[in-house]
Amino acid sequence: MQRPLMRKTMLAASVALVVAIAGCSSNKKSVSSSSHQGNGYASEQALQESVVYWEKRYKSSPSDAKAALNYGHSLRLSGRHEQSLAVLEKLAARNSTDKIILAAYGKALATVGRFQQALSVLEKAQTPTTPDWRLESAMGAIHDQMGNFDKARAFYDKALLQSPGAPSVLSNYGLSYLLEGDLTSAEGYLGEAAKHPNADSRVRQNLALVLGLQGRFAEAEAIASNELSPQQAAANIAYLKAMMKERGNWKQIKKQG
């Protein structure tokens, strides 16, 4: 197998696994906003309540930037990406110089796969003299999804210079290596991120994913069980085992490269 083809195979398989794991975990804990307390995840009920609350605020006053921003954010976290984009696109059109709004709009574009446009918008949201490390990390994540791993890591390096040891950036760094198929490096970065006191549940679930992809299912399930219900953790591990059996061992794929 040619190395570019091998890389594409690894990328596709990894993305499929990440999506599947996220789907399995959504019933108990959903991605929260910027909170890093505890698991950093909000309950499904709390998230839906947030959507309902901000939807009412937004519909009663569509020109209210705060309501629109929070409504779009809540929609994105609940997985309603197209709706989120529609709300934030209108908001950005009315506030084309507001960097906070542009940042939210750029992230919404990325969630629906409009990567080049997302990068362009996030660059406008960035302040060259005082860059926001979160936006650097977000742009890195977009480059990873485009398969531009070296560019992605350059953005992560910039983010870490501004916020040394930030667990979200280290986690993205680890996922970058995961998508490239380097599970050893992925584990190193994710393991470091998971040790940080502000690491949220996503970081630990990503670490469990990488361990599972290496066939270390007991370790993966031990971590996942602390983040998910026992049934969901077991379901995730079962999915990993099935995917590995179907696609073959990662080492075998690498040897073919």
Domains and CATH numbers, the chain: 45-125 (1.25.40.10), 134-256 (1.25.40.10)
- Please give the pLDDT value at position 32: 29
- Please give the pLDDT value at position 246: 60
- Please give the pLDDT value at position 35: 30
Q: Specify whether the CB–CB gap between 67 and 79 falls below 8 A.
A: no
The mean pLDDT of 169-188, rounded to a whole number, is: 94
Q: Residue 34's pLDDT band (boundaries 50, 70, 90)?
A: very low
The mean pLDDT of 30-34, rounded to a whole number, is: 30
Please give the mean pLDDT across all residues of the chain: 81
Digit-coded pLDDT (tens) for 78-97 = 889 999 999 999 999 999 99
- Please give the pLDDT value at position 27: 37
What is d(CA 146, CA 188) in angstroms, rounded to the nearest whole number? 23
Give 209-230 as a DSSP string.
Answer: HHHHHTT-HHHHHHHHHHHS-H
What is d(CA 137, CA 181) in angstroms, rounded to the nearest whole number? 20
| Straight-line distance from the first to the last Cα atom of the chain, in angstroms, rounded to the nearest whole number | 5
Q: Specify whether the CB–CB gap between 58 and 64 falls below 8 A.
A: yes
Q: Residue 17's pLDDT band (boundaries 50, 70, 90)?
A: very low
Q: Specify whether the CB–CB gap between 153 and 189 falls below 8 A.
A: no
Q: Pick from 99, 100, 29: which is nearest to 69 by CA?
A: 100
Q: Residue 248's pLDDT band (boundaries 50, 70, 90)?
A: low
- Please give the pLDDT value at position 247: 54
Of the two residues 150 and 217, the one the predictor is more confident about is: 150
Instruction: Please say if the pLDDT value at position 101 is more than 60.
Output: yes
Of the two residues 34 and 239, the one the predictor is more confident about is: 239
What is d(CA 170, CA 58) in angstroms, rounded to the nearest whole number? 35
Instruction: Please say if the pLDDT value at position 252 is more than 60.
Output: no
- Please give the pLDDT value at position 238: 77
Pure H helices in the chain:
3-25, 44-60, 65-77, 81-94, 99-111, 115-125, 133-145, 149-162, 167-180, 183-195, 201-213, 217-227, 230-247, 250-256
Of the two residues 249 and 216, the one the predictor is more confident about is: 216
Distances (CA, A) of 113 to 39, 52, 145: 27, 26, 9
Q: Residue 29's pLDDT band (boundaries 50, 70, 90)?
A: very low
Digit-coded pLDDT (tens) for 219-233 = 988 888 887 777 777
- Please give the pLDDT value at position 41: 41
- Please give the pLDDT value at position 243: 62
Instruction: Please say if the pLDDT value at position 138 is more than 60.
Output: yes
Q: Residue 234's pLDDT band (boundaries 50, 70, 90)?
A: confident
